[in-house]
Amino acid sequence: MTGLVYKSTGSWYTVKSEQGDFIECRMKGKFRMKGIKSTNPIAVGDIVDYELEETSDAVTGTIFNIHERKNYIVRKSVNLSHQMHIIASNIDRVFLLITINNPPTTFNFIDRFLVTAEAYNIETILVFNKIDTFDEPTLEDQLYMQYVYQQIGYKCLRVSSTEMKGIDELKEMMIGKVSMFSGHSGVGKSTLVNAMEPSLHLKTKTISEASKQGQHTTTFAEMYDLSFNAKIIDTPGIKGFGIVDMEKEEISGYFPEFFRLKDQCKFNNCLHKEEPHCAIKAALERDEIAWSRYNSYLKILEGDEENYRTDTYDEDRKISDETRNQK
């Protein structure tokens, strides 16, 4: 039998059968997917083959095969730096939820996320949430951030999950698709799912006053069927976003605005650092590429892990202010 994985808790997987029943399944023995080394062999969104096992008091399943994944989104596993964690697979669209300061989302974090999504060929839409809370400076920061990403070609939405603003436009983009919500803890992913489908009553929690960070309320990725012919995967908040091993030369290919200019660099193996006649550096000087993007690029190139800290955010804000002042 074939089904779709809706939830994974590590040892048990909730699979929806083609008939629409939910079956709790385990994985057969120690089989591993070929190719990728991940801490979780089966992820939400996987299509699996399973057989039923009936005992006197329950019907469970045993998964013995995973169908080839159309795509998947991964992050480096926190503890095992060479292993990956598959957040979800077979996704049509990712909506990256961003809040400006409650909790703060940095340019660097967004760029790391986008690079990974570009590498795995998954369309990402930026959703600025909590617009109802903005004061004048926050609004300016948000509009600037949106400007940076719209210039590159990323679609941006502005929503308030608590005041139901922008929800219809978002729904429209989800019809007939499997979407995933991602972003830091506390940005309002589960609240947004509830806004679209109040009957789900997903657990949400206020962010900590002291640290201005979310409290990791959602602990497992889970898929939900929505009443307007859409599927959504709500995920736990992510902290740092380690980029999965990439060749240095490959990285700028995942910055679309760099990629468009690459051919104009003098050297075809240009890393856009100190090389002469670099089209990316020239565009940067002309303010056609945002400094925040270039800084993220350099950080990824250097391979340092992003640690999600508020001081990184201040650094990024400074960069955005500097960039703005140059205009």
Ligand X SMILES: Nc1nc2c(ncn2[C@@H]2O[C@H](COP(=O)(O)OP(=O)(O)OP(=O)(O)O)[C@@H](O)[C@H]2O)c(=O)[nH]1
Question: Binding site for Zn(2+): residue ranges?
Answer: 265, 270, 272, 278
Collapsing DSSP to helix, strand or coil, 8 comes out as strand
**272 makes contact with Zn ion (CB under 5 A):** yes
In the complex, minimum distance from the CB of residue 184 to ligand X, in angstroms, rounded to a whole number: 7
Q: Using the rule CB under 6 A, which residue among 233, 236, 294, 312 binds ligand X?
A: 236
Single-letter amino acid, residue 160: S
Cβ closest to Zn ion, residue 118 vs residue 275: 275
Cα distance between residue 120 and residue 90, in whole Å: 11
Q: Using the rule CB under 5 A, which residue among 265, 289, 290, 319 binds Zn ion?
A: 265
Nearest to 326 by CA among 285, 276, 293: 285
**190 makes contact with Mg ion (CB under 5 A):** yes
Q: Using the rule CB under 5 A, which residue among 84, 148, 278, 300 binds Zn ion?
A: 278
Q: Which of the stretches 125-133, 243-251, 284-292, 303-311 binds ligand X when contact is defined by CB under 6 A?
A: 125-133
DSSP class of residue 101 equals B
> Cα angle vertex 83, ends 44, 259, to 5°?
85
Cβ–Cβ under 8 Å, residues 100 and 119? no
Cβ closest to ligand X, residue 45 vs residue 188: 188
Q: How many residues bind Zn ion (CB under 5 A)?
A: 5
Q: Give the footprint of ligand X on residues 133-152 (CB under 6 A).
A: 133
In the complex, minimum distance from the CB of residue 64 to Zn ion, in angstroms, rounded to a whole number: 49
Cβ closest to Mg ion, residue 102 vs residue 190: 190
**172 makes contact with ligand X (CB under 6 A):** no
Nearest to 263 by CA among 248, 284, 277: 277
**251 makes contact with Zn ion (CB under 5 A):** no
**198's tokens:** 């109040």
Cβ–Cβ under 8 Å, residues 82 and 252? no
Cβ closest to ligand X, residue 232 vs residue 251: 232
Nearest to 178 by CA among 217, 219, 220, 222: 222
Cβ closest to ligand X, residue 63 vs residue 221: 221
Query: How many Å separate Cα 118 from the centre of its chain?
Result: 11
Kind of pairing between the strands at 47-54 and 123-128? unpaired
**243's tokens:** 């980029």
Collapsing DSSP to helix, strand or coil, 201 comes out as coil
Q: Which of the stretches 116-124, 155-163, 255-263, 299-307 binds ligand X when contact is defined by CB under 6 A?
A: 155-163
Which residues are annotated binding-site positions for GTP?
Answer: 129-132, 183-191
Cβ closest to ligand X, residue 200 vs residue 246: 200
Q: Which residues bind ligand X (CB under 6 A)?
A: 129-130, 132-133, 160-162, 185-191, 204-207, 214-218, 236-237
